Every structure is written in structure tokens, then in C-alpha cells.
């Protein structure tokens, strides 16, 4: 009994101490670190994994997060921003539906002095200059394209059987993300150019725009397959979810293993890491979601508390870009282990 009383008394003192420090200026915000997030479409495989990481890292710092889903409509997203501001959020994290159309959001935030961290869908530089409380957290599109090209070139060198018809050229198809997204255009261009620079002769049979989406990619791939069938030796995809969709198309047709092309994605989402491990996907490029989430959290925290940032490095004072990493069957276990830690 006595021990219990002592503990109770101690707890009481500790809570009084906490309370008095909360009343003090610095921790005034301690209960009010509130970040409002709106994302372009929560059904996006990569963005939803990124947001899971973001929630976890905000949780570690006792930051409250509200996430809204704009389901592909810029109008809806603008309304969500207004609501989040009205609800008193201290920082906004915005994954733009239309990356060329942030002006209305910027105006609303500026009026109430709420800083914005854009993420994953990069506004054009001119828009970022509209106000100095605007930031961007993402990754280097060009680097992901180059790495995908390098991975494909290395595989083709090592594995002569990829050139199935032995004509010295690699017949390929490309699955592209949304038109107008920084990552579609640039990944496509750099993956192909890198392969060419590495001395691989390419012949593009076809391409399909599948808006980052697995089901759309399966449909596009089925159409390409019905036209080109076994001619296809390589499938390059702007992201993993579409590469998985392409694999689905082959699985549905029960194509023999010797007639399967090599599949390359980008992102390193959970399911594609498993696919690289079991060999259905040849390789992918890791889009560092943990790093991006951590940078968004640290930046939000710093904007709300005025505390200095330790790990965030800016480019042009406003942008943070995380490095990509190549994922192959040789190192995929490290990435899978990281997933399990979460
Ligand atoms: C990712 C895609 C994702 C897109 C959404 C890209 O960086 O690689 O998987 O669909 O962002 O904006
Ligand atoms: Ca060939």
C-alpha cells in the first residue's frame, strides 16, 4: 500500500511539473502540433505506403495527422485544404492532384500563414516561388530512370537469353504513368537513353499509358500481348504497381516461363519486393518512402516549433530530394527486413 502511495505521489508531482512546463511558452504548442494532409488518390500503391510511414514518424513525435483523399479531383482537394486550415492545422502536406495547378491552395494557405509541404507530385519551380513558406519533398526522377536503365542493361549483358529471337536487339514495351507527371516523362526518357548509352540496341514495339495503376496496366499489357505476343523481350514500367499489372496479364494467359519477358519497375512497394525475391520481377528501384516521410515530419516539426532540423538537406532552399537505390535479388532481403521493422 505504502509503495503504491509513494508512486501515486510521484506521479502527481511529475504531472504537475509537466503541466507547469506546458503552461510555459515553448511547449505551448505541445498539444497542438497538427498537420493536415491531402493526397491525390489514396488508392495509389506507393503514396499509401508513403503515408503509412508518415503517420508512424509523426506518431513518434506526437504530431497529430489528418489525412484526406482527393480521389483525383483538384476541386475536392482545394476544398479539403480550406477545411484543414479551418480545423486549425499548423502545417499542410499536399500531394497535388494537378501539379500545375496549386495557386488556389497557395493563396488560401498564405492568407492564414500556414506553410505548405508539397510532396511526391512536384509543383513547377515558378509556383514554388509564389511564397517563401512553400516546400517540396520528393526524389530525383532522373536518377530513377537512369538506375532502371542500368539495371536492365546489366541484366541483358549477363543474360543473353533475354534476346529471345537472337536478332541482337531487345524488343520492348513501356508502361507509362500519368502524362504530365514529372516521373513519367523523365523516367521513360532516362531509362531508354541509359540503355542505349550502355550499348543495348532497342526496338520499341509499343507503349501504354496506365496512370500508375495496376488494373489499367494489366489491360494495356493484355492489348500489347495480343498484338505482339512472344516478340516482347522486355517490359519497362514507370512504377511497380504497373509492372505488377503487366505480370498479372502474363499470368492470366498462363504464358510459359521461357516466353516471359524481363520486368522492371520503380518504387520497391511491398508486393514488388516479394516479386523480386521470388524472381517474377527482375529488379526495381527503391523510392525511399521512409526517408521522404521522415523529411516531411522533421520539416513539419521544425516549422511548428522553430526547432532546427538536423537531417534535412535543401536544394534551392525549398526542395528536399531523396536518393533512389537499386533493388536486385542480391540485396532485396535488406529491403524486406526494413519493411518488417515498421
Ligand atoms: C511513384 C508512383 C506513384 C506516383 C504518384 C511516383 O513517384 O513512383 O508509384 O503512383 O508517384 O504521384
Ligand atoms: Ca530480340
Q: pLDDT tens digits, residue range 145-172?
A: 999 999 999 999 999 999 999 999 999 9
- Please tell me the number of the ligand nearest to residue 162's CA: 2
Asked whether 217 lines ligand 1 (CB < 6 A), one says no
Confidence (pLDDT) at 4: 53
Please name which of 251, 94, 235 lies closest in space to residue 152, comparing C-alpha atoms: 235
Confidence (pLDDT) at 26: 38
Q: Which residues in the chain come in under a pLDDT of 50? A: 1, 3, 7, 9-30
Please name which of 192, 196, 244 lies closest in space to residue 220, comparing C-alpha atoms: 244
Q: What is the CA radius of gyration of the chain?
A: 24
Confidence (pLDDT) at 5: 55
Q: What are 331's three cell numbers?
A: 540485396
193 CA to centre of ligand 1 in angstroms = 21
The number of residues making up the chain comes to 342
Asked whether 47 lines ligand 1 (CB < 6 A), one says yes
- Tens of pLDDT along 11-34? 444 444 444 333 333 344 445 899
Confidence (pLDDT) at 147: 99
Q: What region does 320 belong to: left with phi over 0, alpha with psi -120 to 50, or beta?
A: beta
- Please tell me the number of the ligand nearest to residue 50's CA: 1
Asked whether 148 lines ligand 1 (CB < 6 A), one says no
321 CA to centre of ligand 1 in angstroms = 14
Q: Which residues does residue 280 pair with via DSSP β-bridges, in sequence order?
A: none
Confidence (pLDDT) at 24: 37
Q: How far apart are CA 38 and CA 32, in angstroms?
A: 19
Residue 177 has phi, psi (to 5 degrees) of: -80, -165
238 CA to centre of ligand 1 in angstroms = 8
> Is 49 buried (19+), middle (13-18) or exposed (0-12) by CB count in 10 A?
buried
Confidence (pLDDT) at 20: 39
Residue 324 has phi, psi (to 5 degrees) of: -85, 165
Nearest CA to ligand 1 atom 3: 46
Does pTM top 0.85 for this prediction?
yes
Q: How far apart are CA 165 and CA 161, in angstroms?
A: 9
- 8 Å CB contact between 315 and 112: no
Query: What does the DSSP assignment read for 219-282?
Result: HHHHHHHHHHGGG--EEEESSHHHHHHHHHHHHHHT--GGG--EEE-SB--HHHHHHHHHTSS-
Confidence (pLDDT) at 93: 98
Asked whether 267 lines ligand 1 (CB < 6 A), one says yes
Task: Among 44, 180, 325, say which to mutate for ligand 1: greatest number of ligand atoms within 8 Å of CB.
Answer: 44
- Ligand 1 atom showing the smallest separation from residue 95 Cα: 12
Nearest CA to ligand 1 atom 11: 120
Confidence (pLDDT) at 31: 57
159 CA to centre of ligand 1 in angstroms = 29
Amino acid at each position: 500500500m505504502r509503495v503504491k502511495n509513494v508512486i501515486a505521489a510521484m506521479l502527481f508531482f511529475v504531472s504537475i511539473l509537466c503541466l507547469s512546463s506546458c503552461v510555459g511558452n515553448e511547449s505551448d504548442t505541445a498539444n497542438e502540433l497538427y498537420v493536415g494532409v491531402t493526397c491525390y488518390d489514396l488508392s495509389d500503391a506507393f503514396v499509401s505506403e508513403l503515408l503509412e510511414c508518415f503517420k508512424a514518424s509523426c506518431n513518434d513525435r506526437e504530431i497529430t495527422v489528418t489525412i484526406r483523399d482527393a480521389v483525383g479531383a483538384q476541386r475536392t482537394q482545394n476544398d479539403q485544404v480550406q477545411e484543414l486550415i479551418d480545423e486549425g492545422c499548423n502545417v499542410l502536406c499536399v500531394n497535388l492532384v494537378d501539379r500545375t495547378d496549386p495557386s488556389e491552395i497557395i493563396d488560401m494557405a498564405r492568407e492564414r500563414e500556414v506553410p505548405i509541404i508539397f510532396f511526391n507530385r512536384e509543383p513547377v519551380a515558378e509556383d514554388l516561388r509564389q511564397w517563401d513558406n512553400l516546400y517540396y519533398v520528393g526524389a530525383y526522377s532522373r536518377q530513377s530512370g537512369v538506375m532502371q536503365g542500368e539495371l536492365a542493361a546489366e541484366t541483358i549483358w549477363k543474360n543473353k537469353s533475354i534476346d529471345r529471337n537472337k536478332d541482337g536487339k531487345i524488343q520492348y514495351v513501356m508502361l507509362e504513368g500519368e502524362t504530365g507527371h514529372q516521373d513519367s516523362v523523365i523516367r521513360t526518357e532516362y531509362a531508354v537513353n541509359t540503355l542505349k548509352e550502355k550499348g543495348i540496341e532497342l526496338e520499341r514495339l509499343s507503349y501504354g499509358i496506365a496512370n500508375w495503376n495496376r488494373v489499367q496496366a494489366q489491360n494495356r499489357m493484355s492489348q500489347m500481348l495480343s498484338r505482339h505476343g512472344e516478340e516482347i523481350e522486355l517490359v519497362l514500367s514507370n512504377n511497380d504497381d504497373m509492372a505488377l499489372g503487366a505480370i498479372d496479364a502474363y499470368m492470366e494467359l498462363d504464358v510459359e516461363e521461357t516466353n516471359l519477358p524481363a520486368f522492371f519497375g520503380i518504387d520497391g512497394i511491398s508486393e514488388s519486393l516479394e516479386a523480386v525475391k521470388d524472381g517474377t520481377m527482375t529488379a526495381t528501384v527503391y523510392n525511399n518512402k521512409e526517408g521522404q516521410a521522415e523529411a516531411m515530419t522533421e520539416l513539419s516539426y521544425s516549422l511548428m516549433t522553430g526547432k532546427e532540423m538536423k537531417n534535412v538537406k535543401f536544394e534551392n532552399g525549398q526542395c528536399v530530394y531523396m536518393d533512389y537505390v537499386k533493388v536486385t535479388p542480391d540485396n532485396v532481403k535488406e529491403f524486406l527486413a526494413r519493411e518488417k521493422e515498421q
